[in-house]
Amino acid sequence: MLLKTRGIVFRTIKYGESSIITDIFTEEKGLLSYIMNGVRKKKARVSPGYFQVMSVLDLIVYHSENQKLHRIKEVKPAFLFQTIPFDIKKSSITLFLAELCSKTINEPEPNPQLFRFIAHALQELDHVDAHFQNHHLSFMIGLATELGFELQARTSETDRYFDLQESRFQPNAPMHIHYVSPPVSDILAQLIYNEQNGSHTSMDRSSRKAILAHMIAYFRLHIDHLKDLKSYHVLAEVM
């Protein structure tokens, strides 16, 4: 059947001499794989640039519940990035988000709320002119909520340790190694609060790098067999 949906490109690989296979997180059906024939030819009717990672597309596709590889009938950008391709920091964040999403979202099940969360985060990153250095951290906090392992906000100033296993702040260090201690935990508490209330959190580069490492550890604790995030090392250096 023909299906009209929006989609976010998570990954694209070359296939044969002129085709591609792309993993797209669709609003209507979840994560699916598509083949696009002839897109890498010189006179292709569709630009291969449409399938850059985290591009948001309007799609008309041939869909069958029994197929693992689907075909695209029509495709066009849902919106065009104006700043991300030309800003090394924004593009590094985008590549990291793409890898994180591709390794944490893998079910062919519809999740329109998750789709809208990711699409909004991409548009927000593209539109903002300043104060986007923590965008990937706020995204990870929001993604954790969408995936079902929300970081609980701090409710008392005496709770200065964040337990990565239990997803909550507490007054003392837990009896294991998976926790965030002050002063980094205090910045994390502010980041969680501000992410929920739409405010900006100020932090220096070393704190940002430390929280990123803790957040990756948090995802690994809550998602079985999460593979290494190669783009993490680039992002940690750039941001």
pLDDT tens-place values along the chain, 239 residues long: 898 999 999 999 988 888 899 999 999 999 999 998 888 887 778 888 899 999 999 999 988 888 889 999 999 999 999 999 999 999 999 999 999 999 999 888 899 999 999 999 999 999 999 889 999 999 999 999 999 999 999 999 999 999 999 999 999 999 999 999 999 999 999 999 998 776 788 899 999 999 999 999 999 999 988 888 989 888 888 87
CATH numeric code, 84-238: 1.20.1440.120
CB burial readout 40-51, b (16+ within 10 A) else e:
eeeeeebebebb
Superfamily of structural domain 2-77: Nucleic acid-binding proteins (2.40.50.140)
What does R_g of the chain's alpha carbons equal in angstroms?
A: 19
Whether the Cβ atoms of residue 28 and residue 110 lie closer than 8 Å to each other = yes
- pLDDT score of 48: 80
Give the model's pLDDT for residue 179: 98
Count Cβ atoms below 10 Å from residue 197 Cβ, excluding itself: 8
User: Do strands 168-170 and 161-163 pair parallel, antiparallel, or not at all (unpaired)?
Assistant: antiparallel
pTM for this one? 0.93
CA neighbor of 208 nearest in space, from 239, 168, 162: 239
Q: What is the pLDDT of residue 198?
A: 67
- Can you give the pLDDT at residue 239? 76
Domain ranges of the chain: 2-77, 84-238
